Amino acid sequence: MQSFSMFEGAFWQGGGGWEHIEVCSTVPELDAAVSFYVRTGSWAAAASDWCVARVYQHGELVLEQDLYPFLTVKVPGLTAVRFTGDPQAAGGLPEPGGRYEGLSEGAIWAELAADVHEAALENPEDIQARVDWADVALPELVPPILREGDVVAMGQRLFRYGRNSTLDECL
């Protein structure tokens, strides 16, 4: 069995939801997966939402780490949002002179989803997601390491190296 990392961002509520899973072998690939997930506007930092990195050594799970405590998101017009471990957000306040200045918290969050979706389509780099990977302390993968083109079986599901997502239609 090979070693690999997996990012999963998912939100499930009631009978539906979405998931974004990326199978990879490097921290930059994990970082790109987190950025894609955030830029789709799919993150909620709610009890039914998760944003995790997993490390598998020779096919066995050795680490599952919630990434929200290490994640900072910056959306134009708001101060940076830093998630705490409970997972309530700190930050996300209107920037002076910004689009959201003077709006109530409820009004900001009511407009934010559409704004993030629009930014994801037109200027995805405007939405910044940063994970403090040094604090996450992922273990190094032990060879043999999964490579591009490989497929891994997890339970009754198959995941190919790279993006395995129900979010592809969001952008």
Number of domains into which the chain is organized: 1
The residue with tokens 């997993």 is 54
Question: Which residues, at least 6 apart from 112, have a Cβ–Cβ distance to it below 8 Å?
Answer: 41, 75, 78
Interatomic CA distance for residues 109 and 36, integer angstroms: 20
| Vertex 92 angle, CA 29 and 48, to 5° | 60
Higher pLDDT, 62 or 89: 62
- Per-residue confidence (pLDDT) for residue 85, from 0 to 100: 53
Q: Residue 41's domain spans which residues?
A: 4-170
Structure tokens at 143: 């060879």
CA distances (Å), origin 95, targets 26, 48, 88, 141, 148: 35, 29, 20, 41, 42
Round the average pLDDT of the chain to a whole number and report it: 86
Going by their DSSP bridges, the two strands 89-91 and 16-24 should be labelled as unpaired
- Per-residue confidence (pLDDT) for residue 59, from 0 to 100: 94
Query: Mind listing the pLDDT tens digit for each residue in 84-137?
Result: 655 455 788 899 998 899 998 888 878 887 888 788 788 888 999 999 999 999
- Per-residue confidence (pLDDT) for residue 87, from 0 to 100: 43
- Per-residue confidence (pLDDT) for residue 124, from 0 to 100: 85
Lowest mean pLDDT among 6-15, 92-101, 119-128, 150-159: 6-15
- Whether the predicted pLDDT of 12 surpasses 90: no
Going by their DSSP bridges, the two strands 4-13 and 16-24 should be labelled as antiparallel
